[in-house]
Amino acid sequence: STVAGAGTGDSHSPAVSGAGLFVAFVSTAPGLVAHSLLPPCTPECLGQVYLYGRADQSLRLVSRASGAPDAPALAADAGASQPALGYSDGEVVFVSRSSNLLPTRSDGGGTADDGDIVRVVPATGEVQRVSVLADGVTPAPAVNSHPQVSAIGRVVVFDTLAGGVFADLL
């Protein structure tokens, strides 16, 4: 858990866990989580996804590169948006076009709100792409948005403009 610092910026897009104990949200405030390595504000800061724990009043940067949860967090270099939670803080999904979160890049396209669907497990710092093709590895085009997570996290659904690449699955 990280201590919240001072910051100014807009916060929006709250998502509440099914149990009501966690809130994920997007903020452009640069000083919310101490020791986070955010991209420079040029002049505006990019939105990042954060997770607030109501019970212990913890605040964690979720849109971050993979790494130990207690290590300084390297934030998504192109920002992140559209957070979604299941029942708890077991996982958070969001949309991002960042190049530093995953080892491979997706083909671009779509609108400014589209990107990869990224899954983060805050307790372990694990980061993975959810928007992949049927082989489970190849990135789908980064034209995805509006992720939702089932209560226990087994199912993630999202909108996509890449329906043609999934045609053989239907």
The pTM assigned to this predicted structure is 0.89
What digits encode the pLDDT tens for the residues 44-88?
999 999 999 999 999 999 999 999 888 899 999 999 999 999 887
> pLDDT higher for 90 or 30?
30
φ and ψ of 169, to 5 deg: -85, -20
Sorted by sequence, the CB contacts under 8 Å of residue 12 that are 6+ apart come out as 25, 26, 27, 47
Other Cβ atoms closer than 10 A to 42: 7
- The CA distance from 100 to 157, in Å, is 23
- The CA distance from 68 to 101, in Å, is 14
What digits encode the pLDDT tens for the residues 109-144?
778 899 999 999 998 999 999 998 888 888 888 899
- The CA distance from 19 to 133, in Å, is 31
Strand order in the sheet with 92-96: 81-85, 92-96, 116-121, 126-129
Residue of 18, 104, 77, 88 whose CA lies nearest to 53: 88
Model pLDDT, residue 153: 80
What digits encode the pLDDT tens for the residues 100-110?
999 888 877 77
Sorted by sequence, the CB contacts under 8 Å of residue 170 that are 6+ apart come out as none
Predicted confidence band of residue 165 (pLDDT cuts 50, 70, 90): low
Residue 25 pLDDT exceeds 60: yes
